[in-house]
């Protein structure tokens, strides 16, 4: 996958071996996404309602961050604003070192084609296109040649176990297969940032496990992911969990690897635990 040129990777922050240049002493992994004072307000009959209320957030290159919170806390709104699907009311959004919150809708569309992938709960596949066309389209829009887009599509569908479905219409696929196609489409343009909005919320447990396994594999390959979820088990795949409440960040916690115990220890191992950061 294409990545930003030679970022350093801090393996201590992810709990995984570094897949890129290791960070030197005192060097922090660069922020791929930086948000300052972000506000999103909607007009209503009673005035203005703020769905996002002054959020500050950073996501490092190669980091997997889960966004959690109760219904109505602003999770999906935040993701849509960060991806330029809705305009911010106030605040700053920096992506790959460039401020993007002031971009026009057309400029946002170009940015998404090149650097942002979206994975939605309800798939959003184009029903009039085959699986192959759905996956190839983002790569073509990002500037790949037809040969490059076809090669990328073949690699992704093979990796996701869908090579035999390339000529099939999305409506003829199961829900789990449609979500895997949606994941292939989201990764087809080799995005700097993958935004996933409840990617398992519409799947049964077996298909949800498959999608999560594929997200984990993408992350292990260096993909930066920002994922909204209501499921603590799903959030457990991430490096950090950011909790929203009433449009504000209530907690920001790093997920630490579980301690390893010897065969004679009487302690009960846990899968992971949260180290609160403030």
Name the DSSP letter for residue 263. T
- What are the start-end ranges of the H helices in 63-202? 75-82, 105-115, 131-141, 146-159, 175-187
Q: Specify the pTM.
A: 0.79
* Nearest CA among 187, 238, 177, 168 for reference residue 210: 177
d(C-alpha 277, C-alpha 194), whole Å = 24
Residue 268 in any domain: the answer is: yes
d(C-alpha 7, C-alpha 22), whole Å = 8
Say what percent of the chain tops pLDDT 70: 82
Residue 1 in any domain: the answer is: no
Tell me, what CATH number does 82's domain have?
3.40.50.300
Residue 3 in any domain: the answer is: no
Q: What is the pLDDT of residues 198-216, one digit of tens each?
A: 888 878 888 888 888 888 8
- In the chain, the number of structural domains is 1
Q: What is the pLDDT of residues 231-258, one digit of tens each?
A: 888 898 899 999 999 999 999 989 876 5
**Could you tell me the two tokens for 110?**
């170009």
pLDDT at residue 232, as a whole number: 87
Residue 133 in any domain: the answer is: yes
Q: How many distinct helices (H) and strands (E) make up the chain? A: 8, 13
Q: What is the pLDDT of residues 72-114, one digit of tens each?
A: 899 999 999 999 999 999 999 999 999 999 999 999 999 988 8
Residue 257 in any domain: the answer is: yes
Residue 114 in any domain: the answer is: yes
Q: Which domain holds residue 139?
A: 8-276
**Could you tell me the two tokens for 154?**
């073949």
Q: What is the pLDDT of residues 132-157, one digit of tens each?
A: 999 999 889 888 899 999 999 998 89
Residue 17 pLDDT grade (very low, low, confident, very high; cuts 50, 70, 90): very low
What lies within 8 Å, CB to CB, of 175 at 6+ separation is 123, 202, 203, 204, 207
Tell me the three state secondary structure of residue 188. coil
Residue 17 in any domain: the answer is: yes
Name the DSSP letter for residue 84. T
Residue 238 in any domain: the answer is: yes
């Amino acid at each position: 996958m294409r990545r930003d040129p030679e970022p350093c990777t801090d393996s201590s922050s992810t709990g995984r071996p570094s897949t890129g240049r290791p960070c030197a002493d005192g060097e922090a992994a660069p922020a791929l996404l930086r948000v300052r004072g972000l506000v999103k307000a909607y007009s209503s009959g009673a005035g203005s309602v703020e769905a996002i209320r002054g959020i500050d957030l950073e996501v490092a290159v190669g980091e997997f961050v889960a966004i959690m919170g109760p219904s109505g806390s602003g999770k999906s709104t935040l993701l849509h604003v960060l991806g330029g699907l809705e305009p911010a009311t106030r605040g700053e959004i920096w992506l790959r070192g460039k401020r993007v919150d002031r971009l026009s809708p057309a400029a946002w569309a170009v940015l998404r084609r090149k650097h942002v992938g979206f994975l939605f709960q309800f798939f959003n596949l184009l029903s009039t296109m085959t699986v192959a066309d759905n996956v190839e389209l983002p790569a073509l829009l990002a500037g790949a040649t037809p040969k490059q887009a076809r090669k990328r599509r073949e690699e992704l569908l093979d990796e996701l176990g869908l090579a035999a479905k390339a000529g099939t219409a999305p409506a003829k696929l199961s829900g789990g297969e449609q979500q895997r196609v949606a994941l292939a489409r989201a990764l087809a343009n080799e995005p700097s940032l993958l935004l996933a909005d409840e990617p398992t919320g519409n799947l049964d447990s077996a298909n949800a496990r498959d999608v999560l396994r594929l997200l984990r594999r993408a992350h292990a390959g260096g993909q930066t992911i920002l994922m909204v979820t209501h499921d603590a088990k799903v959030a457990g795949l991430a490096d950090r969990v950011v909790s929203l409440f009433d449009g504000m960040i209530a907690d920001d916690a790093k997920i630490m690897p579980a301690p390893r115990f010897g065969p004679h220890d009487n302690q009960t191992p846990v899968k992971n635990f949260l180290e609160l950061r403030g």
